[in-house]
Structure 1
Amino acid sequence: MQTCSLCRQDGDYQGVKALLRGHTDIVNAVKFFPGQGPFSQTILSGSVDKTIRVWQANTASPTGFDLVAVLEGHEGSINCLAVFKGTNIFASGSADANIRIWRIESLGGGISVEKVQTIQTKPRYFALALALHSLGRGKDLVLAATGTKSIVQVYVASSDGQFCHQVTLPGHEGWIRSLGITQERRSADSDLLLASASQDKYIRLWRISQAKPKTNLGNESAFGNLERSLSNKAHKLEISQNSYSVSFEALLLGHEDWIYTVYWRLEEESLQLLSASADNSLAIWESEKGSGVWVCITRLGEISAQKGSTTATGSTGGFYIGLWSPDGQKLVSLGRTGSWRLWNYDRDKDRWLQGVGISGHTKSVADIAWSKDGSYLLSTGSDQTTRLHAAWNRGNKHSWHEMARPQIHGYDLNCIDSIGQTKFISGADEKLLRVFDEPRATADLLDTLCDIPANSEQILPDAANIPVLGLSNKAIKSAAVEEPGTDGYADAETSTSAVYGQTLNVDRPPLEDQLARHTLWPEREKLYGHGYEISAVASSHEGAVVATSCRASSLDHAVIRLYTTTDWREVRPSLTAHSLTVTALCFSSDDRYLISVGRDRQWAVFERNAVRPEEYLLKHSNPKGHSRMILDACWAPLETGRVFATAGRDKMVKIWSIGAMDTECTVTIAAVASVTTVDVSSRLLQNNMLVAVGTETGVVTLHILQLHNWTVKGKFELGNS
């Protein structure tokens, strides 16, 4: 996301308010259109699908917004949008090396949008940032554009005219990621300040004025040899009968990596600039009243030298965006680890204090699994993390948050399941499975915040960490207090092998830096045997047996391996039935049966050996269960008999019933797209079975099946809250 608007904080932490669906690819830019009347609650969004979509508020809509216009014409991804309060003009920048100017107007209570102008960038570059503002007291407009070059181009136009290029501002040494423009004071004749943030780690400020350009090189002493590269040449802008000038104002130094965004905040006579960088920090800049030198007055985030804090050029850390709240008393930042961090300004302490933010996966979620008692949810995916989500209970308020990040891995994770209440197993692209134990720190946290009782009699490890250049979480002991060395610092061994008692606050969910460093689960066991990437895993309900499979293109590897959880030995022989990858495994609620489905369009049911309970034998199979690959399967409650469901790429969900000698398909549910997942409620609803169906388009539908005649009684689509 290129830009966003900070919504009023919800004290109940109720999460997503609505989902606006329409784009067919990644959304790069979002802007609230700051107009009046019918435009007062209008959203603009630009996407990789080469379209701009206009959303208008509508209280009658389930989402609160309706899609009122789809703007086409760009031949590349939409990278950025620019709007300005007081005008009905907005601009869009695209990967087709064009900038388009649009006019939005009210039309019979609705909205009409027309293209006004197409600007071809010269020299050719892809626009990554745009800034739009009015000039002086008149209705003249200035548009700043930049992107995959080290220059800023300035265009001017009268209110009804065309934008024309007048000035090119050099100075940066890398791509320019963000632009911000604002008035210096709250007066009509105030100068404008333009900020440009670049991958060269610097922010440059430019002054746009109608009078004689002002000179401010108050930072020379700090620049050293950079002084010769700081040009204060006045560039002229001429439009209609008015004349303006653009001159270099200041160079802001301090960030250690790419700078992604800059945002101004003007309050009374106080002007501040917020910058977000890949060095895992936010910086607030302000001009000193006496000298006029721009200095960093506040820095938030993490020290880049700490483990886990990484850079744009080396890894997984960094802040993509920083935003002010409307009153300037809150800051939020979106990081590469998938977390919105929140800071609140405490006037009494004159400092910014971090509050509860929002976290989540940054790439596709591959699998989820409830704990055995349903008290918390585990999720894992392509961002190489496993996350634990639970409800934060405080009086009569309840909200779900990420409470732990048990696994931070080096491979994409594909599957997960819980083993008992304090263990889980996960499989990744590394050909082996890993088993993890809940540490005491997480158990105490869940007990305090989520009312999930911790077993005081069970011996749990204190915490875990990841050794340097390692993938296995190692159990470590917790130290109640820090014991500094003789030189006043904790020794290296202590700092890397102990977690201190004050690391986690117990009055609110862990913050992002705590999740990444102090909520890991220690690894208990590794399970070997598969020759390729792990594709599916399932644990029996009683937690005695684990079934696993891997990606396969032959009979030799398309086997299901069973492991006992008492001594973690493999149960031989492996289960054979499939010829291609087994995509899903599921045990029945009494663990008597195990179902497997695969890319070979086949499903197979294995029955537990009455003599050796850890063994399973093939009972039924159907080599043509679906016309295309089968992606998921699940069991219905025992009250329905031996019934299971399968979901396939053929856009079908089939309900199967196991008889004395064979199985039969009792119901077929058609979907609008390929079905990727299916589940059945563990309890009957007035003698009806509830089936949830998920498709690759993101649509989830609920189907009510009548058991007495196996017919679909009702269907409900879930999508917007």
Structure 2
Amino acid sequence: MERSCFDGGNVEVERLFIGAGCNRVVNNVSWGASGLVAFGAQNAVGVFCPKSAQILTTLPGHKAVVNCTQWLPSSKDAYKVQHAEKHHLLSASADGIIMLWEFHTIERKWRHALQIPEMHKKGVTCLTGIMLSENIGIIASTSSDRSIAVWEIVFPLGINDECKISCLQSISAGSKPVVALSLAELPDDKKNIVLATGGLDNKIHLYCGGLKGKFVHVCELKAHMDWIRSLDFSFPICLDGGTKSILLVSSSQDKTIRLWKLSARGSSTYCDVPYRKEDIGLTSFIEGPLFVAGNTFYQVSLESLLVGHEDWVYSVKWHPPLSKTLSEVESYQPLSILSASMDKTMMIWKPEKITGIWVNMVTVGELSHSALGFYGGHWAPDGESILAHGYGGSFHLWKNVGLDCENWKPHKVPSGHYASVCDIAWSKSGEYVLSVSNDQTTRIFSPWRNEVCLGNRAPWHEIARPQVHGHDINCVAIIKGKGNHKFVSGAEEKVARVFEAPLSFLKTLNHAVLQNLGFEDLQDVQILGANMSALGLSQKPIYANAVSEVSKRMKEEVPDSLEIIPDAVPVVLNQAPVEEQLAWHTLWPESHKLYGHGNELFSLCCDHEGKLVASSCKAQSAGVAEIWLWEVTSWKAVGRLQAHSLTVTKIEFSHDDSFLLAVSRDRQFSVFSIKKSGDEVNHRLITKQEAHKRIIWTCSWNPFCHQFATGSRDKTVKIFAIDSSNHPPSVKQISSLPIFKDSVTALSWLGHIRSSNTGILAVGMDNGLIELWNVSGGTSPSLPFSAAVAKRFDPFLCHVSTVHRLAWSSDEAGESKTMLLASCGGDNCVRVFEVRVN
């Protein structure tokens, strides 16, 4: 959790939660000696703690998608920096920019240390680095511009010193890009470094150079039949007597892993050369190439071929070196390799004790229905945990819980969307936040009360994934009013879909909030969960008696009985779920489809009584831009409201449900009066006004009266009021906030003190920043409307791209001085803030 700086002195903001998925890029994740995991989340660098399964922060600064992260010191150097006060993190993005961040372990604070001079013209594809001493590191970066840059970083020893970086060399990689790098000090030679590169030419290239650069291409290793995807050098190992060697492990899209040995063969005098480098004979083929580094000859030989994966092997990592004793700085290299593949598995390889043949000792992940393959695998610094990140933006963590033998069990990790989050909504009573995204999923985030983390607060987790769809989802509305939990979602299709909470979720929610929520109909809910259809468009209910019926048919050996076995196994969760449970066993059944719109859905809202839902779609004409009204119980269309000529971007009911406000791309807003009488709904257009010079993206009602705010691409927020004393009622502008620094894309109005019409207006912008404004008055000439900035969120708390939606957990704060504000944005993040008014 982080606290924002104080601006106005009367409002304090604390971030409670970040939900975000990992960019679907190889080399995107790094587990450092600090014990923290860094990853790219759209343009931000996310950092999470594996122990608490919480994302601690996101680091803003990159203008393009983050492709790579690399800790310095890395997990390989953990044994010698156990008490370091500062750790550093490198991040690189698709525009070629590399940044260095500083993390203070005691104060738990982050600082942007520097931006590395721009050397790459295209996106960076890989970063690697080693520590030569306590404060000097060597890093290498490569890009799709087919260049490799080698850098020296000098970290500060004093309090006021700054990091210094210098480019030692730029190496041309040839005609095909490089996507894998690894650096190591040569065995028994602290003055020379070896750099291994691999990429699209199917070869491994070795370069040797000194501590100040001057890397020379010394040999190439030909064995793989497809692109090289990952390379990793081991710590020096004593093999075959007392000679120290280093091992290089490589993986490829040819589904294989190869193990290479680099060992010293003597001094570089002519008589010591076993054969000349230019000789191409049987000896050279069997023993491998020779190269010179400093005054020593080194032999490269292929040690092993590891075959076991059934798809591309994206990642191989050596087990981090471990200290020999707690007091010694010396370390040893465990002979253990972790591989991650697109075949949905991670494997741990070790040599057999008797034969020395490398075999697969552990396999995890093979039962995962949702992973869709792993892009990378990583060891914890102590080697007792392994982490994978997958095609679906998800993390998967296993811990070794065995005593006498290895026993790897899945553990919870942070989760979230891996594409832009378009909309969020709070549940009726504020127990959870529901979000929808272009990653085609709907997710529910909630605090889990029986866990306690820093500050005696319940940590937030994703507790359900109600909808996994075949289209990008644009909007959502939770059905308010009495009854079971329901929501309506709209995607890039012409149909709105209605979902109802199954019994398994209702019981899980009771476990999460540690109280009986009083669902009167728990006994009547017969639907246990839902199954996904083949095309991912409809979710069919699983009834409570379905499992027993299937078991009975299985015993009777009914032909084709496998076709009726539910793919999902809905379960009641009594602790925060892991990814495999979320992706397959927490679906909600779809109860209705709402047909009527001519294009893909864009906006949804529900009235406060839970009786009407309004929807709009993308439109280029007045006929298509209609707002449809749906009756909640029958789900019949009961109204088609015409006012706009282009897409209606946001719709919202007033707090008393007597008005419906709509804003549009045509720069106009419209207000309709809504009257319900029995089964009929009467609506009438009160006004339509051009309010802004550019697209109006957002709007929000004052919970205490008929005032509303509109926000636009023209960087303005305007306040309007409805005068109901006129017949018909009239709408006039009563105020305009000062021009903002960027387009206003999200608004949410919280009522605080009814007597003075005082509240807080949350404003989200296209640049990801959020501001809170104190607003009051405007209900009479003697009490004019006033607005003043209460808080500008620290950029480290905010999104790094467009804020799509802001939502308070309740329309009115009442007597409470603590409120929750949720936000979502184009940076794939869902965030929850605690706002305290002093």
TM-score (norm 1): 0.90
Matched, 1:272 2:336: yes
Cα deviation, residue 466, structure 1: 1.7
Matches within 5 A, 1:244-263: 244-263=298-317
* Structure 2 residue aligned with 1:545: 612
* Structure 1 residue aligned with 2:628: 561
3-state DSSP class of the match of 1:358? coil
62-71 vs 231-240, which moves further: 62-71
Matched, 1:88 2:154: no
* Structure 1 residue aligned with 2:249: 195
* Structure 2 residue aligned with 1:609: 675
Cα deviation, residue 302, structure 1: 2.6
**Two-structure CA RMSD over aligned residues (Å):** 2.8
* Structure 2 residue aligned with 1:177: 229
The aligned amino acid for 2:208 is V
Q: Deviations over 1:663-701 (max 9, x none)?
A: 222332332111111111143498532111111221111
Matches within 5 A, 1:55-70: 55-57=101-103, 63-70=109-116
The aligned amino acid for 2:114 is V
* Structure 2 residue aligned with 1:314: none
Alignment check: 8 A CA contact 2:526 2:543 kept: no
Looking at structure 1, the residues matched to 334 and 105 of structure 2 have their Cα atoms a distance apart, in angstroms, of: 37
Cα deviation, residue 658, structure 1: 1.3
Matches within 5 A, 1:203-214: 203-211=257-265
* Structure 2 residue aligned with 1:71: 117
Cα deviation, residue 579, structure 1: 0.5
3-state DSSP class of the match of 1:444? helix
3-state DSSP class of the match of 2:509? helix
Looking at structure 2, the residues matched to 27 and 146 of structure 1 have their Cα atoms a distance apart, in angstroms, of: 21
The aligned amino acid for 2:102 is Q
Query: Which residue, out of 534, 548, 551, partners 1:483?
Result: 551
How has the CA–CA distance of structure 1 residues 469 and 706 changed in structure 2, closer, same or farther, with 3 Å as cutoff?
closer
* Structure 2 residue aligned with 1:121: 173
* Structure 1 residue aligned with 2:768: 698
Cα deviation, residue 120, structure 1: 0.5
Cα deviation, residue 262, structure 1: 1.2
* Structure 1 residue aligned with 2:792: 717
Matched, 1:474 2:550: no
Cα deviation, residue 67, structure 1: 3.1
How has the CA–CA distance of structure 1 residues 46 and 269 changed in structure 2, closer, same or farther, with 3 Å as cutoff?
closer
Cα deviation, residue 496, structure 1: 4.5
Looking at structure 2, the residues matched to 634 and 71 of structure 1 have their Cα atoms a distance apart, in angstroms, of: 44
* Structure 2 residue aligned with 1:17: 56
Matched, 1:405 2:431: no
| Percent identity of equivalent pairs | 34
Cα deviation, residue 366, structure 1: 1.0
Cα deviation, residue 114, structure 1: 1.3
* Structure 2 residue aligned with 1:29: 68
Looking at structure 2, the residues matched to 627 and 543 of structure 1 have their Cα atoms a distance apart, in angstroms, of: 34
Alignment check: 8 A CA contact 1:90 1:103 kept: yes
Query: Which residue, out of 681, 688, 698, partners 2:758?
Result: 688
Q: Deviations over 1:127-178 (max 9, x none)?
A: 2111000001112100001122211111001223400111111121222111
Matched, 1:338 2:405: no
Cα deviation, residue 415, structure 1: 0.5
How has the CA–CA distance of structure 1 residues 500 and 337 changed in structure 2, closer, same or farther, with 3 Å as cutoff?
closer
* Structure 2 residue aligned with 1:130: 181
Query: Which residue, out of 581, 588, 607, partners 1:521?
Result: 588
477-486 vs 417-426, which moves further: 477-486
* Structure 1 residue aligned with 2:146: 97
* Structure 1 residue aligned with 2:501: 438
How has the CA–CA distance of structure 1 residues 483 and 613 changed in structure 2, closer, same or farther, with 3 Å as cutoff?
closer
Structure 1 unpaired stretches of 5+: 213-227, 310-316
How has the CA–CA distance of structure 1 residues 198 and 59 changed in structure 2, closer, same or farther, with 3 Å as cutoff?
closer
Q: Deviations over 1:636-656 (max 9, x none)?
A: 112xx2111111111112221
Alignment check: 8 A CA contact 2:289 2:300 kept: yes
Alignment check: 8 A CA contact 2:143 2:178 kept: yes
* Structure 2 residue aligned with 1:215: none
Query: Which residue, out of 133, 140, 146, partners 2:198?
Result: 146
How has the CA–CA distance of structure 1 residues 442 and 505 changed in structure 2, closer, same or farther, with 3 Å as cutoff?
closer
Alignment check: 8 A CA contact 2:337 2:349 kept: yes
Looking at structure 1, the residues matched to 533 and 103 of structure 2 have their Cα atoms a distance apart, in angstroms, of: 51
Q: Deviations over 1:169-188 (max 9, x none)?
A: 11212221111111252799
* Structure 2 residue aligned with 1:625: 691
Alignment check: 8 A CA contact 1:38 1:106 kept: no
Alignment check: 8 A CA contact 2:113 2:163 kept: no
- Of structures 1 and 2, the one with the larger relative CO (CA 8 A, separation 6+) is 2
Q: Deviations over 1:43-73 (max 9, x none)?
A: 1111112111112235899942233233212
Query: Which residue, out of 386, 404, 426, partners 1:370?
Result: 426
Alignment check: 8 A CA contact 1:181 1:192 kept: yes
The aligned amino acid for 2:428 is K
461-470 vs 642-651, which moves further: 461-470
The aligned amino acid for 1:137 is D
The aligned amino acid for 1:671 is F
Cα deviation, residue 189, structure 1: 5.3
Looking at structure 2, the residues matched to 232 and 504 of structure 1 have their Cα atoms a distance apart, in angstroms, of: 57
3-state DSSP class of the match of 2:182? strand
Structure 2 unpaired stretches of 5+: 1-24, 37-47, 267-281, 323-331, 778-782, 798-838
Looking at structure 2, the residues matched to 593 and 473 of structure 1 have their Cα atoms a distance apart, in angstroms, of: 34
Cα deviation, residue 711, structure 1: 2.6
Looking at structure 1, the residues matched to 144 and 193 of structure 2 have their Cα atoms a distance apart, in angstroms, of: 24
3-state DSSP class of the match of 1:398? coil
Q: Deviations over 1:387-445 (max 9, x none)?
A: 11111110655111111111111111111011134111001111111101111111111
How has the CA–CA distance of structure 1 residues 486 and 458 changed in structure 2, closer, same or farther, with 3 Å as cutoff?
closer
* Structure 1 residue aligned with 2:812: none
Matched, 1:592 2:655: no
The aligned amino acid for 1:553 is Q
Cα deviation, residue 623, structure 1: 3.2
3-state DSSP class of the match of 1:237? strand
3-state DSSP class of the match of 2:56? coil
Looking at structure 2, the residues matched to 550 and 407 of structure 1 have their Cα atoms a distance apart, in angstroms, of: 20
Cα deviation, residue 10, structure 1: 5.2
Cα deviation, residue 207, structure 1: 0.9
Q: Deviations over 1:473-501 (max 9, x none)?
A: 11122456683876899986467544787
Count residues in correspondence: 691
3-state DSSP class of the match of 2:667? coil
3-state DSSP class of the match of 2:489? strand
Looking at structure 2, the residues matched to 508 and 59 of structure 1 have their Cα atoms a distance apart, in angstroms, of: 30
Cα deviation, residue 520, structure 1: 0.8
* Structure 2 residue aligned with 1:644: 708
Looking at structure 2, the residues matched to 486 and 364 of structure 1 have their Cα atoms a distance apart, in angstroms, of: 43
Cα deviation, residue 321, structure 1: 1.7
The aligned amino acid for 1:656 is F
3-state DSSP class of the match of 1:447? helix
* Structure 1 residue aligned with 2:18: none
Looking at structure 2, the residues matched to 40 and 62 of structure 1 have their Cα atoms a distance apart, in angstroms, of: 10
The aligned amino acid for 1:253 is V
Alignment check: 8 A CA contact 1:91 1:100 kept: yes
Cα deviation, residue 542, structure 1: 1.2
How has the CA–CA distance of structure 1 residues 462 and 505 changed in structure 2, closer, same or farther, with 3 Å as cutoff?
closer
How has the CA–CA distance of structure 1 residues 559 and 85 changed in structure 2, closer, same or farther, with 3 Å as cutoff?
same
How has the CA–CA distance of structure 1 residues 580 and 474 changed in structure 2, closer, same or farther, with 3 Å as cutoff?
same
Looking at structure 2, the residues matched to 134 and 345 of structure 1 have their Cα atoms a distance apart, in angstroms, of: 31
Cα deviation, residue 591, structure 1: 1.1
Cα deviation, residue 337, structure 1: 2.1
The aligned amino acid for 1:705 is V
Matches within 5 A, 1:268-307: 268=332, 270-303=334-367
Looking at structure 2, the residues matched to 156 and 489 of structure 1 have their Cα atoms a distance apart, in angstroms, of: 66
Looking at structure 2, the residues matched to 616 and 170 of structure 1 have their Cα atoms a distance apart, in angstroms, of: 76
Looking at structure 2, the residues matched to 136 and 492 of structure 1 have their Cα atoms a distance apart, in angstroms, of: 61
Looking at structure 1, the residues matched to 98 and 314 of structure 2 have their Cα atoms a distance apart, in angstroms, of: 22
Alignment check: 8 A CA contact 2:238 2:245 kept: no
